[in-house]
Amino acid sequence: MLQVIKNRLEQGHRTSKYPKEPINLYKRFRGLPKVDPKCDGALIQRCADACPQDCIDTKNCRIDLGRCVFCGLCETLSGGKFVTFSQNCEMGTASRDDLFTQGDLPALAEHSKKHFKKLFGRSLQLRQISAGGCNACEADTNVLNTPFWDLSRFGIQFVASPRHADGIHVTGPLTKNMRAATITTFEAIPHPKVVIASGACAISGGPFYGSDEIVGDLNSIIPVDLYIPGCPPHPLTTLHALLTYFK
């Protein structure tokens, strides 16, 4: 017992002070990209041809953040002339269309449905649905329950039963085998309820885009309220989106 107390005194309080104090991200973290539409057309086309996700719109000079896996290839190929990735992790949006961007996203708080804040501002219970992804999205969401992030201090928790939940948090490209289970879980949640698509897979199919084995777009079967881009989304991206949209 004395050893436990000694350890606690030595280790101190490890929980971050976010959002009162910012969290420093690793220097190689790739956040919101900034696109230069005045860049040479040939270079833009070269980046678009090389993009593994086919998510560069050369006509409008935009990147689809709902499909981008943040591999950084476009930044490397263009030497930062066409795309540069910022350290801004605040990328959640309420509209799929807003994820087609040159580097500007609307303020999420303004797009939040007011009654969601009233209903879930003090307590939000979510049921996680892993719909066939690689497990990185789940792992980086799970991190939010560690002492550093301590998600429950914000009144947000993941629960086992959809009957106890206010909404679903979906990761993965929604394999056809998970289609019925996802709809059943959604229907089991009492009204009003929220739907969160987390990660490129749940938003668009991500790296599995085009596969015959997936649905690939959660919004095509149930209405999505909140989109959280990334592959996987950084825990801070998820936390910022949840706090801004619901709190």
Verify binding: residue 71, ligand SF4, rule CB under 6 A.
yes
Query: Could you tell me how many residues of this chain bind ligand SF4 (CB under 6 A)?
Result: 26
How many angstroms separate the Cα of 117 from the Cα of each of 5, 123, 240?
Answer: 39, 10, 14
Verify binding: residue 134, ligand SF4, rule CB under 6 A.
yes
Verify binding: residue 136, ligand SF4, rule CB under 6 A.
yes
Distance CA 172, CA 197 (A): 9
C-alpha dihedral, 35 to 39 to 42 to 44, nearest 10° = 0
Verify binding: residue 172, ligand SF4, rule CB under 6 A.
yes
Q: Which span sits near ligand SF4 by CB under 6 A: 1-9, 45-53, 176-184, 218-226?
A: 45-53
Verify binding: residue 53, ligand SF4, rule CB under 6 A.
yes
Q: Please pick, from the candidates 31, 92, 162, 199, the single residue that binds ligand SF4 as defined by CB under 6 A.
A: 199
Q: Which is nearer to ligand SF4, 119 or 134 (CB)?
A: 134
Q: Please pick, from the candidates 174, 201, 236, 242, the single residue that binds ligand SF4 as defined by CB under 6 A.
A: 201
Q: Please pick, from the candidates 32, 44, 61, 74, the single residue that binds ligand SF4 as defined by CB under 6 A.
A: 74
Q: Burial letters for 15-46: b for 16+ Cβ neighbours within 10 Å, e otherwise? A: ebebeeeebeeeeebbbbbbbbeeeeeebbee
Q: In what order do the strands lie in the sheet with 124-130?
A: 156-158, 124-130, 167-171, 194-198, 226-228
Q: Please pick, from the candidates 32, 55, 124, 165, the single residue that binds ligand SF4 as defined by CB under 6 A.
A: 55
Q: Which is nearer to ligand SF4, 152 or 177 (CB)?
A: 177
Please compute Rg for the chain using Cα positions.
19
Q: In what order do the strands lie in the sheet with 62-64?
A: 56-57, 62-64, 100-101
Q: Which span sits near ligand SF4 by CB under 6 A: 72-80, 89-97, 182-190, 216-224?
A: 72-80
Verify binding: residue 63, ligand SF4, rule CB under 6 A.
yes
The binding site for ligand SF4 (CB under 6 A) comprises: 51-53, 55-56, 63, 68-74, 133-134, 136-137, 171-172, 199-201, 206-207, 231-232
